[in-house]
Structure 1
Amino acid sequence: MNMLRPACVLALMTLTACTQTWVDTKYQQSDRFATWVDSTPSPYRLLAGDDISVVLPFNVELNYKGRVAPDGTVAMPFAGNLPAAGQTLAQFGETVNRALAANHMTANAMAMVAVTQTAAHVFVGGEVGKPGELALTPGMSVMQAIITAQGLLDTARTGEIVLIRRSPDGRPMLRTVDVKALTQQGDPAQDIVLQSNDTIFVPKSSIAEVDLWVDQYINKALPFNKNVNYDINGARSF
């Protein structure tokens, strides 16, 4: 996880400098990106660093709250040191049930496991209120991540939000998400469920890009006298 974060920050910086390039369809099909493959969201699997709660409805005295250790285990009283990382919540619940039964604590624990704070993250950059790294909650969608990042700015290009994800072979995949179609037309195909280490980039609207270009390359870069007005006929006035 720590090795991936600098790369994601660098990607966000690159996107900021190349907004139009990254949202253009022709670049989605270029050699730099793998073909986007939609996948059915899989059940959440526990990670080292996840905070979890284990509730045993018929044995509440055995309820547990704690964190998955760096080695992927959970040290649960009366159950022992249990493997957790990589298991779904249901699978870890069964692990707890078997351990409690083996230790003669209860024959049918019916453990219910929930993640209270996940170690998985996504990255949101561009025209949002608070760009940065977000904890990925199970089932979080693109729109939910944007809302968690304090929403879209007025300068956001809501019809072409960029989503980058790693393909199964490790190459980056890119697609655009039309949040405007989601909010105005209720198009559910645009509310993509996120996966760990996904990167969302919200580019500027076209008008904002023009204003930024004028400010950076005309007002600041060129030595124009700001007291002089230029017109298309070459005349000037003070």
Structure 2
Amino acid sequence: MMLLRKIFVIALLCISASLVAYAQTPTRTQRPRLTAFGVEERYVLHPGDVLGIEYRYTPEFNQTVSVQPDGFISLQMGGDLKVAGRNLEQVRNLILTRVRARLESPELTVVLKEFQKPYVVVSGEVAQPGKFELRENLTAIQAVLLAGGFKDSAKSSQILVFRKLNADTAEVRSLNFKTLKRTSDLENDLTLQPGDMILVPRNRISKIERYVRLASLTTFLYPLMR
């Protein structure tokens, strides 16, 4: 009997020690599992896009609106609303917030009917300067070829690519087509992004700042963007 009591006491002590150790062990925070594709990016609206706003129960308020140059749309119900830079679901929620003051339990759908295709601008000493649709993985050299290629007067060793950073500033990259052609190192060609502007100069530009004010590019580029 005494032996059984000793075994029982020892077992209780072991269990108690295990519980204390478990209680003192820091709890590991479970990290969220990430999907292989990450977060899905949705199209955001730009000036010139056309939206269809359709009410399920009050179709008399349906309308088609264009995003104005300042990024606003004008609603029959709700007045002016800034939508540029937002996706369709965000715009739908904004409209619902506005119209709930006049409609009870409104249901509506926002449809993108027309949108401005992404583009790049090529100007300067090329055969056909202008605005060109941005295709997937289009590079600076390919854009120059779409513009008809270099003129004889072009300085192909200093192709300038301007990339807008904000409303006032653009980043500048310089590419040397002669080096790319001679070394066949086309991996150093620059993949373009929507709104990039390419300038092929006539004469060598001895110095170019890394960042420039967009207003200074108006003479060369903006007439082509209209």
What's the TM-score bracket when you normalise by the shorter of the two chains?
0.3 to 0.5
Question: Which structure has the bigger radius of gyration?
Answer: 2
Structure showing greater relative contact order (alpha-carbon pairs closer than 8 Å, 6 or more residues apart)? 1
* Alignment TM-score, normalising by the size of structure 1: 0.42
